[in-house]
Amino acid sequence: MTTRSAPAAVDLARRDLTLDLARVVCVLFVIVVHLVQVGIGPGPDGGLVASRPAEEQPWFNAATWVGQIMPLFFVVGGFAAATGWRSWTAKGGDAAGFVRTRTLRLAQPALPLFILFAIILGVATAAGLPQQLVADAAVGAGSPLWFLAAYLLCQAAVPFLAACHARRPVLTLVVLAAGVVLVDVARFSTGIQEIGLLNLLFVWPLVQQFGFWYQDGWFDRRHPFALIGIAAACYLALWPLTAIGPYSMSMLGNLNPPTVPLVLLGIAQACLLRLLKPVLSRLMALRAMQGVVFVLGSRLMTIYLWHLPVMLALTGVSLLIPGAAPTPASPAWWWSRPILFVAVLGVLLALSLVIAKWEALGTLGPTPSRGVVAIAWVCAFVPPFAVMEWFLDLPIAVVGAVLLGVAVLLLRRSPAAVGSVRSEA
For residue range 117-140, list pLDDT tens digits in order.
Answer: 999 999 988 988 778 778 878 888
CA nearest 121: which of 405, 386, 395, 316?
Answer: 395
Parallel/antiparallel/unpaired status of strands 48-51 and 363-364? unpaired
420 pLDDT band, cuts 50/70/90, is very low
Tell me: pLDDT of 410 over 90: yes
Read off the pLDDT of each residue in 273-279 and give the average, rounded to a whole number.
97
Q: Is 418 left (phi over 0), alpha (psi -120 to 50) or beta?
A: beta
pLDDT given for residue 13 in this prediction: 59
399 Cβ neighbours under 8 A, 6+ residues apart: 383, 386
pLDDT given for residue 11 in this prediction: 55
Q: One-letter amino acid identity for 134?
A: V
pLDDT given for residue 12 in this prediction: 58
Q: What is the pLDDT of residues 33-82, one digit of tens each?
A: 999 998 888 877 767 777 889 999 999 999 999 999 999 999 999 999 99
Tell me: pLDDT of 8 over 70: no
Tell me: pLDDT of 107 over 90: yes
pLDDT given for residue 153 in this prediction: 97
pLDDT given for residue 41 in this prediction: 82
pLDDT given for residue 138 in this prediction: 85
132 Cβ neighbours under 8 A, 6+ residues apart: none
4 pLDDT band, cuts 50/70/90, is very low
| Number of other residues whose CB lies within 10 A of the CB of residue 132 | 9
Q: What is the pLDDT of residues 173-227, one digit of tens each?
A: 999 999 999 999 999 999 999 999 999 999 999 999 999 999 999 999 999 999 9
376 pLDDT band, cuts 50/70/90, is very high
Distance CA 180, CA 260 (A): 6
Q: Assign 137 to helix, strand or coil.
A: helix
Tell me: pLDDT of 271 over 60: yes
- Give the CA count within 13 Å in the CB-facing half-sphere of 242: 22
Q: Give me the chain's average pLDDT, please.
A: 90
Q: What is the pLDDT of residues 296-339, one digit of tens each?
A: 998 999 999 999 999 989 998 998 888 888 988 899 999 999 99
pLDDT given for residue 416 in this prediction: 53
- Greater confidence, 40 or 152? 152
Parallel/antiparallel/unpaired status of strands 39-42 and 48-51? antiparallel
> Among residues of the chain, what percentage have pLDDT more than 70?
94
pLDDT given for residue 5 in this prediction: 36
- Greater confidence, 335 or 418? 335
pLDDT given for residue 121 in this prediction: 93
414 pLDDT band, cuts 50/70/90, is low
Tell me: pLDDT of 3 over 70: no
Read off the pLDDT of each residue in 146-163 and give the average, rounded to a whole number.
97
Do 250 and 53 meet the contact criterion of CB atoms below 8 Å apart?
Answer: no
Q: Within 91-202, where are the H helices?
A: 95-126, 131-142, 146-167, 169-190
- Greater confidence, 325 or 157? 157
7 pLDDT band, cuts 50/70/90, is very low
